[in-house]
Structure 1
Amino acid sequence: MTTQTLDTIASEQLDLQLDIVEDRLRQDYADLDRPSAHALVERERTRFAAARIHAFVPILVERAVRESLEEPPGRHRR
């Protein structure tokens, strides 16, 4: 019998959770189209590719994307 932990379940559902993040971002930012939202989420997702725990990845990705969308023009995140 295989025991599933919270993180195992979270890892298996990561794509679904990130799709939900994309949808929420598009609702909150009217000028953000689907391809742009996906690109921003994927860019941030790659930062966490090696993470051992995936349960918090959607939260961290959403926070990072929102911060980048709120930055004044000409100022870039490092």
Structure 2
Amino acid sequence: MTTQTLDTIASEQLDFQLTVVEDRLRQDYTSLDPRSAHALVERERDRFADARIHAFVPILVERAVRESLG
């Protein structure tokens, strides 16, 4: 039996939410290939690696990536 902690659950949810962000970015920026979208999202995600609360990380990541894409 595998026991999930709150950190594990939050991490899994964050992974899913960031995948949704990547999909949304690829829909809005059709010239953006999947590898580039993933790299941009991961770069911004790394900035928030030490965040105590992860609820706003997807929003902040998406905002930063959109800014960098102009």
Shorter-chain TM-score range:
0.7 to 0.9
Percent identical pairs in the alignment equals 83
1:13 aligned counterpart, secondary structure: helix
Gaps of 5+ in 2: 1-5
What is the number of residues matched between the two proteins? Answer: 65
Runs of 4+ in 1 over 6 A off after TM superposition: none
Give the distance between the partners of 2:42 and 2:11, measured in 1 at CA: 15
Deviations 1:31-52 (A, max 9, x none): 1010000000000000000000
Q: TM-score, normalised by structure 2?
A: 0.85
Gaps of 5+ in 1: 71-78
Deviation at 1:16, TM superposition (A): 0.4
Over the aligned positions, Cα root-mean-square deviation in angstroms equals 1.7
Between Structure 1 and Structure 2, the one with more helix by share is: 2
Q: TM-score, normalised by structure 1?
A: 0.76
